[in-house]
Amino acid sequence: MSGMNQVTDRLRERVRELLADGKIHTFIGYERAWDPYRPIPFFATEAGEAERLIIDELCVPSTPKYMLDFFGREGVVGLLVKGCDSLAVERLLRDHRVERESMYIIGVACTGLLDRDKVKARALEEGWGAVEEVRREGDAFVLVTAAGEKELGPEYLMERCRTCEVKVPTVYDELLGEEVAATAEPRDFAEVAEIEAMTPAERRAYWERQFSRCIRCFACRNVCPACNCRICVFEERVPRWLGRKTDVGEQEMFHFTRALHVAGRCVDCGECDRVCPVNIPLRKLNRKLMKDIGELFGIEKPFMPAETEPLGQFRPDDPDEFE
């Protein structure tokens, strides 16, 4: 397996061309920033800026949702897209929030991203200094740091990447690098089963503890590609669905509502969970609904965007446990 950084030069070359030819006005990729272990989204608007683009297994943030910021603007935006990002693109396309013609998508195959928090903690503890390159060597990751080359095993993979079989983007205009096999651990929803196994009182206490930390920053909603309404339910004043008071009841109402609004449309990208500043395990909410949808309605891949979403359709012979 080779790492994504192999295509860096080709990526920069292509973006330089696209910007210079005026085919796109902006390219959204990644650059290494103040914290070299956490590359950030980078918006190149001139050919000369292509040099700043990087792509490797630390490039985690999902970028397709930025297309909503370009809504209504003329011209084409270039996007660098990994597998999970491509599902986000499909979600936005199917929800009619972005036009396919307004994007030029450069896809890159990805064998799994690094858990940045884990890597950062190790780097700080062992004094690695800055990182300037990330490679893949077989199952392992090799980081070129100020303290020399450091090897990290597959246990440093992001949790969500273990079970991801979308190694190659499902939508792109051109693909950089080689295709890779779609192998992944089975999506067994173990973390959901763990909560299902608790007693009702334990579950109530668990969720109350999680939600009581919520500060209603809306980062989870803002990063989610399925949360793409022009006016979000939580922004509507009439009717007022959610008060601004931050007691546990309101926090729960927020998470309950958001989980149900994205039910059947969530692409399991895990960004909500990653951006939460207070470690609320949001994936455990969305994946519970995903698991049930898959089981109840016989959908093999409930995270894959489809022609019609599960809660927007029905079958006369759907399961019925009500009398």
Partner 1 sequence: MIYRTLKRESMAVLVDRLKEGGLVAPVREDGVVVFRPIQGDREVASDYINPTNSVKDVFLPQTESLFRFNTAEKGLEIEATPPEGPKYVLGVRPCDAAALELLDHVFAEGQYTDSYYQRRRAEVTVIGVACDQVGESCFCTAFGLSPGHRRGADVMMYRLDDESYLVAFEGERGHRLAEEYPDLFGEAPAEETIEAVVTSYQSREVPAGRVELDGITEKLDGMFEHPLWAKLAARCLKCGICTYLCPTCHCFCLDDEALGYEGVRYRCWDSCMYPDYTLMAGGHNPRPEKANRTRQRFMHKLNYFVHNHGEFQCVGCGRCVDKCPVGLHMLAVIYDIKGVDSDGGQ
Partner 2 sequence: MSVKESWEPKIIGFCCNWCSYAGADLAGTSRMNYPASIRVIRVPCSGRVNPQFIARAFQLGADGVLVAGCHPGDCHYSTGNYFTRRRMLLLTRFLEYLGVDPDRFEVRWISGSEGQKFADTVREFTERVRALGPSPKKRDAS
Kindly list the residues in this chain that would bind partner 2 in the complex (CB under 8 A): 192, 195-196, 200-201, 203-208, 241, 247-250, 252-253, 256-257, 259-260, 263, 288-289, 292-293, 296-297, 310-311, 314-316, 318-323
Does 246 interact with partner 1 (rule: CB under 8 A)? yes
Rounded to a whole number of angstroms, the minimum distance from the CB of residue 47 to partner 1 is: 14
Binding residues among 63-82 for partner 1 as defined by CB under 8 A: 66, 69
Q: Which of 56, 309 has the CB closer to partner 1? A: 56
- Amino acid (one-letter) located at 228: N
- Asked if residues 104 and 78 have their Cβ atoms less than 8 Å apart, the reply is yes
Q: For the CB of residue 95, give the shortest distance to partner 2 in the complex, in Å.
A: 18
Residues facing residue 148 across a β-bridge: 145
* Interatomic CA distance for residues 5 and 11, integer angstroms: 10
Sequence-distant contacts of 32-37: CB under 8 A, at least 24 apart = 32/132, 35/120, 36/130, 36/131, 36/132, 37/116, 37/119, 37/120, 37/123, 37/131
Q: Quick one: what does residue 190 bind among partner 2, partner 1, none, with the CB cut-off 5 to 8 Å set by partner type? A: none
Stretch of 35-43, 100-108, 174-182, 296-304 contacting partner 1, by CB under 8 A: 35-43
275 binds partner 1 (CB under 8 A): yes
* Measured distance CA(122)–CA(21) in Å, rounded: 43
Instruction: Find the shortest distance in angstroms from Cβ 211 to partner 1.
Output: 12
Total residues contacting partner 1 by CB under 8 A comes to 35
Does 34 contact partner 1 by CB under 8 A?
A: yes
Tokens of 55: 């792509």
Residue 111 is a binding residue for partner 1 (CB under 8 A): no
Query: Which one among 132, 185, 188, 247 touches partner 1, defined by CB under 8 A?
Result: 247
What is the C-alpha to C-alpha distance for residues 179 and 10, in angstroms, rounded to an integer? 16
Please say which residue, 155 or 320, places its beta carbon nearer to partner 2. Answer: 320
**What SS3 state is found at 133?**
strand
**Residue 241 lies near partner 1 (rule: CB under 8 A):** no
Residues from 197 through 226 that contact partner 1 (CB under 8 A): 209-210, 213, 215-219, 221-223
Closest by CA position to 188, among listed 164, 165, 166, 163: 163
Query: Around Cβ 92, how many Cβ atoms within 10 Å?
Result: 22
Q: 34 or 322, CB closer to partner 2?
A: 322
Here's the x/- map for partner 1, 43-62, by CB under 8 A: it reads as x-----------------x-
Q: Nearest-5° angle of CA 162, CA 54, CA 129? A: 80
Dihedral angle over CA of 153, 159, 165, 171, nearest 10: -110
Q: What angle do CA 89, 91, 93 make, to 5 degrees?
A: 70
Residue 66 contacts which entry, partner 2, partner 1, none (Cβ below 5-8 A, type-dependent): partner 1
Residue of 285, 307, 309, 305 whose CA lies nearest to 297: 309
What's the closest the beta carbon of residue 245 comes to partner 2, in angstroms?
A: 9
Q: Could you list the residues that contact partner 1 (CB under 8 A)?
A: 33-35, 38, 40-43, 61, 66, 69, 124, 209-210, 213, 215-219, 221-223, 235, 243-247, 274-275, 277-279, 281
